[in-house]
Structure formats: C-alpha cells, structure tokens
Structure 1
Amino acid sequence: MNADGSLTDELTGMTVLVVDDAEAGRYAMGTVLKRAGHRVVPVASGGEALAELDIRRLKGTLPDVALVDVGLPDMSGFELCRRFKERPFSARLPVVHFSAADVPPADHCQGLDIGSEAYLKMPAEPLEIEAVVRAAVRNARLRADDRALVRRLTRLAETTVSIQSARSLQELADAAADGAAALTGTPVAVFVLDQEDRLCRGLSRDRVPVALPDEDAHRAVATLLRRLARGQSGVQLTTVPAPLWPAGYFRPGVRHDARLALALTQDGRAPVCLAAPARGMRRLGPEGETLLARLAQSTALAAEPLLMYQVERHVALTLQHSFLPRPHRLPEVPGVDVAVRYVPASRDTEIGGDFYAVLRTADGVLSAVGDVVGHSLEAATVMVEIRHALRAYCIEDSDPAVLAERLDRMLRHYHPEVTATVCLALIDPADGRARIANAGHLPPLLLRADGDTDYVPAAGPLLGVGLPHPAPTEVRLAHGDRLLMVTDGLIETRGTDLAASMEQLRAAATGSLPGLDALCDTLLDTFGQDRGDDIAMLALRLR
C-alpha cells in the first residue's frame, strides 16, 4: 500500500476468478473489481470454474485469486476449494469464500481448514472487498516466496555438501554448476583458475552439449578473471557485457551479458567464478544474487584444499620422475637386459611412493621394486630416502636379506610411523644365480624360456615393523629367462581377491610376446588403465 492508500504496483491488474451462480452477483462483484483495476473472469458453477482453470493452465495464465460463493448449484464453495487444493497446478491459488446467506461459524472454519484465505459476508463495502482480495493475494505470495526461499536454501545446502565432497577440481566445478543452475533456474558456468593459470570449467547439465566454447574463449575468460581478481577481497558481483564475454557458455553460439559472482580462495591466489546470464539473474532479484554469492564463497573454500593437493601432487610426481632413472639411463650390466616402467596414478589420485632401482654391485646386478605405504608427498619423500639408502648400503654388502634388515632399521629410526614393501633380487650374470629377499611385497614372477611361468616363493615381513628377515630364496636363471617385479598398483583392485589378480597377471605375462618391452607393454595395456595407485615395473632377462 502506498502512502496515498492506493494499491501497490505488484497488487494491481490482477486476474480474479469470480464463481457465483447469480448473474447479478457476478456483475456486482465484477464491477467493484474492475474499478479497482483488476481483470475479472466470471463463471456460474464449480464445474465451469474447474474447466476454466484447465484451459488457463494450458495457456499459462492462471488467475491470481478466486472469489467463490459458498452456495453453488453443482457443489459447495468449500468442495470447490478442496478440488482446487488437490490439483498441483492450482493448489496455491488463494481462495476467498463469500455468501449473502447466514453461514454457521462451523462452516467458516471448514473453509479455512480446507485452505481458503478469508470469508466475506455479503453485501460488503467495495473497499472491504478490495482489501480482502489484496490481503489474500499478498499472503499467498508471501507463502510462495517463503517456500521458494526454503527450496533455494535446501538446494544451497545440498550443493555445498556436493562441492565439499568433490575429489577433484573438475568434480567441484561440475557440482557447483549444477547446483547453481538448480538454485537460479538459469544455465551456469563455473570456473576455477589455478596458480599456473590453468582453467578448470564446469557447465550445468541443462546446457546443450553442442557448439561448446573453444580454447580461445577459455583463454579470454582466464584473462578476464585474473584482471577482475586483482586487489579483490570477499565476493565480487559484477556484470560483463556480451561483447567482452565469449559466446556459447550459456546457450550454443549465443552471446549474453554475464552476471559473475567472483570469490578468491583464502590464500587469495586462485579466483573461483560462477557465471549466469544477467537477464535470468535480474528476475531473481537481490535474494537470488545473495545465494549465488554464498555459493561462490563455498566453492572457493572447497577449491582451496584441492588446489593445495594439486600442487602437492605435482611436487610428488616431480620427485618420482627426478629420482627414478629413465630407461636410457639405467646402468649397463653385461649379460642382463633390463626394462622399467613407471606410471603415476590417475589424475584425481594422490601420488604414492612406488620405486624401482637397478644397481651394479661387486656380486652382480641388484634389482629392486618397492612401495612406501600411503599416498602423499611424504610417501614420495620417503621413497627417495629408501633408494638413496639402498644405493649406499649395497656398496658394502649386496646380500638381499642384509639389505632388507638395514632398510628396516633405517625406516624405524627416521620414520617410525611409516612402513614400506620391497623385493630385492641379486643376480650373478655369470651363472644365473638369483638370490631374492621379499619384504612384504608381491613375489617376483619367473618366466622361463621354455614357457613355464610361476612366482618365486619368496616372502618376509614388510619394512618398518622390526621383525627378522629370512634368508634369501635362491633360484637359477637360464639364458632367455625373464624375471618380472611389479608393485601392487598394477593389479590390486578393491573387491577382487589378490590371489585371483596374481593369477590373471601370470596368465597375461605367459601370453605376451618375447622380449622385455613387449612384456611390460602387454601388462600395462591389460591392467594399467586409470589405476587408483602408482605402478612401478622392472623386468630383466638373462642373455
């Protein structure tokens, strides 16, 4: 209501359904409402009222309020109200009952219990009729707004849970985009720009997956986000006009003004942006923008540990590549051919402590494959220490069991909470004698030149637990025999018995082509796709 008593803009020009079997009553009520600036839809019965709503439902023009006479010829006004409320599309239509007859108070209560907004005793003054209609619509809209707010807050909470449980930046961006789209009712694009200016992006699923923006568009967005993020704190809401915002993020090939909610991670380094069409956001008003800003802030908070993990993973992977010798840098060992492989875990998984080593000693060639338990930068760091210790220890004594004991003591002294597995094989190329010590690792697979294949029965406690290690297991290698040593990341699968996986590995190795590279490549093709753990592999052959 304005200061002069006139109707507010939002409550003028409403469509009012008047249900009255008396033509004079419909005319009188219609006249009052038309003078107040409303559109009137008069009907004479409950059946006509239900049919009128069906027609208007198809056209998308439902009335704002219904004035219903209590005494209709085909059903009571209370029954008509009940039927309105039973239909999903008309359940929220505000109803005002009226009657010129005396209606018992119990009937008034019945109408209110069914869901009507008010009761008018006729005849009534025009001002009273207008006031009751306005109040009915206003109250219904307030309830609808409250319900919409509850729905949005629920979606905000659900989306916050989804983004906090994301295991990668891509999962985060996708979850935030879908949640923001459900929150706003518009297509949404989400961007996370990491510290190396790599742009991770997610588009809500309501975005048609054709004519997606190209790399030039992504670079333009990255540049824009960096510029907007300079000197920013908190959450920034801004509109980017269509000429500056690349086409296609909201609708294929279409340019839109973009409304951005931009937030920074707590360290202030990485911007996180939620973008939606500006026209769609204007329909939501300040409340919708507030919710979008909160979601942007939640997304930035959830992105921070993922970005930190990304940096840690990069450092760990750099350590792995720096300290694991490349195949062309392996030592030349007369009489023995060697092939190695290292495959990091899939992009969304932490790097572990898998390693291999090939070392020349006074007693032959020492080969090792091991795995520090855990997946973190610490695991990769401990891996480096174990490799260095092994290189130092084998100068004095290359006996595999002695080396296992020394590595165990070193690990317990410097890293008492860390354990590791390792398989060590000392091979004399002159006579093919192989001495193998296994500290909690997968046993090596021996592939004879005549086609026989089996695991070497070498076992012992893992490193870091302080248990004594048994004497090495001895086997003889003939010319052309191959010895395969792998970490469990190659074959271990959750829910699958390890013995069954080892048997599958043995069968695949038996069926591989001759040669070390063929053996390694066959096994990686068979088992090594999108693994959740690192893979280290070493294969050697006696010439």
Structure 2
Amino acid sequence: MDVNGKLTDTTVLVVDDAEASRYAMGTLLRRAGHKVVPVASGGEALAELDVRLRKGIMPDVALIDVHLPDMSGFELCRRFKERPHTAGLPVVHFSAAALAPEGRCSGLDSGAEAYLTVPAEPEEIEAAVRAAVRAARLRADDQALVRRLKLLSETIVGIQAARSLRELATAAADGTARLLGCPAAVFVLDQDDKLYRGLCRERSVFPAPDEGAHRTVAGLLRRLTRGQVGLQLTTVPAPLWPAGFFRPGVQHDARLALVVTQDGRSPVCLAVPTRGLRRANPEGEALLAQLAQAAALAAEPLLMYQVERHVALTLQHSFLPQPHRLPELPGIDLAVRYVPASQQTEIGGDFYAAIRVHDGVLVAVGDVVGHSLDAATVMVEIRHALRAYCVEESDPAVLAERLDRMLVHYHAETTATVCLVHIDPATGRARIANAGHIPPLILRDTGDAEYVKAAGPLLGVGLSHPPPVELFLEPTDRLLMVTDGLIETRGTDLTASMEHLRAAAVGALPGLDALCDTLLASFGHDREDDIAMLALQLKDLGN
C-alpha cells in the first residue's frame, strides 16, 4: 500500500482470450503498480495457479473475461472457489458484451466479487481490483483470527485438563507451536528445583538436550524470576540459551515469557526462537504472554497437589513398617508391599499392619475411602487405634466394632474397609473379620485357591459386625490380603478382577516374595489407586 492508501505490488491474474485486450488490461494495471500474469484460457489459468501454489506465490486477484474459449468465466470462478487452496482468491468478471442482469447475477452466484463492463475508465478498473483485494484480505484476516482464537481456546483447555506438570508443559508447548508456527518449549520449575519440560510435537520426536542443558535452563529461570511479580518478556541470546530445545543441535536466541506462580516459588516459562516469533503474526507476543499466564494458573493447583502428595507419601512411609523393619512374629513368615498410585493420582489411605498380640498374631489390610492428605491422615489414626486396642483385645470382630465406633465418633463423614485376621501359629487356627474389604485368598499347595467367605459392613457406618469366620491353615498354605487398588479397573466388574487375581496367584512361584512380585508385575502398572499387600505363611517348625 502506498502513501495515498492505494494497493500496490499486488499480483493480478488476467484471463482473456483476446490478445489485444490482455495487453491493454495488463498495461493499465502495471501503470497502477501491479504485477500482471496474463493467460488466454480457463485451462491455462488453472495450470498457472497449480504452478504458483507449489511455489507459494499465489496472485492477489483474478480478472476474468466472461467469454473464454474452453469454459465460461463463471465456470472458471466456480472451479477456483471449489478448490481449498484457491477458494480465497477474489475474482472480478469483465465483458465487452452487454450482459443481462441475470448473467451478472450468475457471476456473483459463482463467487465473484464484482463485474465490469469494458471498456471502462482506468479508475473504475483500479477501484474494482482494489476493493476485491481489500475484501479478500479482510476475510483472510477474520478467518485467521477465528483460527487463532480456536487454537488458543483448545490450547488453554488442554493446559487446564493436564493431570501433571509434565502433561501441562507438553500441552502448552504443542499449542504454542501451532499458534505461532514455530518450535516451542515450556518449562516449570517446582519448589524443589525440579524442572518439568514439554516440547512441541514436531520437536519431541528427536532426542532432548542433555541434563546439563536442563540445569542451565533451571538456573536461568531462577535468576530471571528472582523478585519478579507478574509477566516478564525477555530475550536470551544463543550463547546463553542451550542449543537443541527448538531444533536438534541448533542454537537460537530465545524469546521467553516468564510468569511466577502466586506463591512466588515456581517459575513457568514459554520459550520460542526469536526468529520464528518475528515470522509469526503480529499478535505473536501477546499470544505467548496469554499462554504463559494460562499455564502458570493451571500449574498452581498441580504444584499444591504435588506438595500434598509428598506429605501424604511421607505419612505412608513413616507409619507403614517397611519390609526390612517388620516385627518378628512368632511362627509366621510375612511379606508386605506398598505401591503408591501413579504420579497423576492422589495418594489414598491404603495400609497394612502386623501386630504381635498376647495369644498370637494379628494382621490387617485396609483402605480409607478417598484420595487426599485427609485419607492418609485417617489411615494413620486407624493404625494407631488398632495397635492400642490390641493391647487388651485380639478378637478381630470386636476390633472391627471398636474401629467402627472410633471412625463414627471422630470422622463421621469418612468410611474405610479393613480385613482383620487373628492367627494362632501353634495350631494354625485363623479367625477373620472382614469390614467391606476384599476377602483373603488362601492358596493351597495342591494348586487350588479360594477366597474366604467373610463379609461385613464398612467401617464408619455404625452397623454391627458378624462373628469372625474360623478356619485352619496348614504350614504349606499361603494367605494373601490386598487392597482393591491392585485389581480395580474402571469399567470392569470387581468380581471378574478378583478371579483374574486368583488365577495369577495360582500361577505364581512358591514363596511369599515370589507371590507378591508376580501379582505386582501382573497388575501393578500405572494404577489409579494405592496398593497394599500382605502375604503370610506358618513357619514349618518341624524343619
């Protein structure tokens, strides 16, 4: 556009089978500052557009004679509009022969922007070209804006739906790359200086930079955001920004959008190459800033959850005896396992206990309903209460009643499941009380396995509990107790999952550790709930 507001340096495709007319039209347009591509037929026009499409140098407007030798100008226009890559090309029809109104309407119906009767004044031709190009550019700008807003909305939804900091960083990087049309990397540095990185889809198929590059980025983020409040846009030159985050092995200056979470402890950074950002649309920096702020807002609850999850895990590990610290239980061999839920899932209240009582051994496996720090805290209270009650009482049904009353009194909104087994190692007599939990599985040396038919109400609902179920264990028997986190899968019936567990247990090698490890290998990958497991066997005192 020149200083007078006129469009210049536009390319006009002139389609006219009359050579003299093509020459005259071309001369007029060149004098007005346009480039002209003259062709003599509709077929030549389509071929010319195909060539230019491959080179990425499409014309800005087409002036098409209505009467062409191989097809009408209206048909040629219709073909332009039917092809996705030429649909946006504005068309102005012209004709030296007078057309009835319905003929001119056919041109508009085929998608043309205007109609000229020639010969016409140069100013009129130039005005028609100018109006068609401006209208097309406005439409293209509007369409680009709609696409950007749609992509921005999709990206923010993806960021907000992320269940982990790594998922968030990846969603933000991919959305930034699609919006700006250049590679992108996103980083979140948590309170413990652990760096979570996301690369756009195009870049993530190649190996990421090494740990040294990540340490460099972490140090940069800490220095750049020290004392920062709000959004900061800054450029880090290539010697200071590690190579490879945008393209493998290539150094780039990096344009960073930095936001610190509200607690001031965790920087969130969106990074793109400055060269790529300059090539992006004029709103590129504003989009980068918007996405950085959206990512920081979405990161805050994930960071808070991470802290809570760490506290809950610390509680679990502090109060659950580890395998190497299990108490010495007379006449009983014992194996235990505890596996926290996957990183994307909250820690629950799964627990196990093994307690020496005055007349034998009491073991328990339970699960506080819910997934949160509260569930882990209630789990600790139940374990402490159980140990305290066992000082004077070992009947598992009585213990279940007391735990139920404690939960109703102190945590009226909370429920839990637990299976309690009292064993006399001298006789093998086992008494089992089950409060809403998966019943124990008994594995015989004959290769058979069956669940104990013991059932009772959940803890925390205030209902009475039935007497314990009694059975006798042989030294060759193995008793297995698990929480439902091992086998429960959304959409799958629990009864079917229990049968799968029974079959897998039967196929395990002899020994308690082999049994636990086999079941974890079969079921324990990326579970949505914690897993607590306890297996025991009477010691063969005859050997």
Q: TM-score, normalised by structure 1?
A: 0.94
Per-residue CA deviation, residues 356-392 of structure 1 (Å, 9 max, x unaligned), is 1111111211111111011111110100000011111
Equivalent residue number for residue 63 of structure 2: 67
Note the residue ranges of structure 1 that are not aligned, 5 or more in a row. Answer: none
Give, in whole Å, the separation in 1 of the partners of 2:401 and 2:159: 46
Q: Say whether 1:256 aligns with 2:258.
A: no
TM-superposed deviation, 1:115? 2.3
Equivalent residue number for residue 527 of structure 1: 523
Per-residue CA deviation, residues 245-299 of structure 1 (Å, 9 max, x unaligned), is 2111221111122222222333333222222222221122431222222222222
Give, in whole Å, the separation in 1 of the partners of 2:239 and 2:31: 47
Q: Say whether 1:352 aligns with 2:348.
A: yes
Equivalent residue number for residue 314 of structure 1: 310
RMSD: 2.0
Q: Secondary structure, in 3 states, of the residue corresponding to 1:316? A: helix
Equivalent residue number for residue 421 of structure 2: 425
TM-superposed deviation, 1:317? 0.7
Give, in whole Å, the separation in 2 of the partners of 1:257 and 1:288: 16
Give, in whole Å, the separation in 1 of the partners of 2:57 and 2:443: 79
Give, in whole Å, the separation in 1 of the partners of 2:505 and 2:78: 74
Is residue 114–residue 128 contact of structure 2 (8 Å, CA) maintained in 1? yes
Q: Secondary structure, in 3 states, of the residue corresponding to 1:533? A: coil
The code of the aligned residue for 2:212 comes to: D
Per-residue CA deviation, residues 118-142 of structure 1 (Å, 9 max, x unaligned), is 3334333334433332232122111
Q: Say whether 1:394 aligns with 2:390.
A: yes
- Structure 1 stretch displaced more, 111-120 or 11-20: 111-120
- The alpha-carbon distance between structure 1 residues 480 and 130, as it changes in their structure 2 partners (threshold 3 A), is same
Given candidates 211, 215, 218, the residue that maps to 1:219 is: 215
- Structure 1 stretch displaced more, 118-127 or 280-289: 118-127
TM-superposed deviation, 1:2? 5.2
Q: Say whether 1:99 aligns with 2:95.
A: yes
Q: Secondary structure, in 3 states, of the residue corresponding to 1:286? A: coil
Is residue 432–residue 478 contact of structure 1 (8 Å, CA) maintained in 2? yes
Runs (4+) of structure 1 moved beyond 4 Å? 449-452
Q: Say whether 1:134 aligns with 2:112.
A: no
- The alpha-carbon distance between structure 1 residues 6 and 404, as it changes in their structure 2 partners (threshold 3 A), is closer
Equivalent residue number for residue 375 of structure 2: 379
Give, in whole Å, the separation in 2 of the partners of 1:22 and 1:220: 68
Is residue 13–residue 39 contact of structure 2 (8 Å, CA) maintained in 1? yes
Per-residue CA deviation, residues 305-345 of structure 1 (Å, 9 max, x unaligned), is 11211111111111100100112222212222222111111
Is residue 12–residue 36 contact of structure 2 (8 Å, CA) maintained in 1? yes
TM-superposed deviation, 1:26? 1.8
- Structure 1 stretch displaced more, 480-489 or 313-322: 480-489
Is residue 184–residue 288 contact of structure 1 (8 Å, CA) maintained in 2? yes
Given candidates 118, 123, 127, the residue that maps to 2:114 is: 118
- Structure 1 stretch displaced more, 469-478 or 44-53: 44-53
Equivalent residue number for residue 496 of structure 1: 492
Percent of aligned positions with the same letter in both sequences?
Answer: 77
Give, in whole Å, the separation in 2 of the partners of 1:216 and 1:127: 65
Give, in whole Å, the separation in 1 of the partners of 2:513 and 2:53: 70
Given candidates 409, 412, 416, the residue that maps to 1:413 is: 409
Note the residue ranges of structure 2 that are not aligned, 5 or more in a row. Answer: none
- The alpha-carbon distance between structure 1 residues 426 and 208, as it changes in their structure 2 partners (threshold 3 A), is closer
Equivalent residue number for residue 284 of structure 1: 280
TM-superposed deviation, 1:183? 1.3
TM-superposed deviation, 1:451? 4.8
TM-superposed deviation, 1:471? 1.0
Give, in whole Å, the separation in 2 of the partners of 1:353 and 1:298: 33
Give, in whole Å, the separation in 2 of the partners of 1:102 and 1:447: 98
Equivalent residue number for residue 323 of structure 1: 319
Q: Secondary structure, in 3 states, of the residue corresponding to 2:305? A: helix
Q: Say whether 1:297 aligns with 2:293.
A: yes
Per-residue CA deviation, residues 163-204 of structure 1 (Å, 9 max, x unaligned), is 222222222222222222221222221212212111111111
Give, in whole Å, the separation in 2 of the partners of 1:76 and 1:36: 28
TM-superposed deviation, 1:88? 1.8
Q: Secondary structure, in 3 states, of the residue corresponding to 1:495? A: coil
Q: Say whether 1:436 aligns with 2:432.
A: yes
Equivalent residue number for residue 245 of structure 1: 241
Q: Say whether 1:536 aligns with 2:532.
A: yes
Q: Say whether 1:83 aligns with 2:59.
A: no
- Structure 1 stretch displaced more, 368-377 or 521-530: 521-530
- The alpha-carbon distance between structure 1 residues 309 and 115, as it changes in their structure 2 partners (threshold 3 A), is same
Equivalent pairs, count: 539
Per-residue CA deviation, residues 409-460 of structure 1 (Å, 9 max, x unaligned), is 0001111111101111111222222221111111112234555432222211
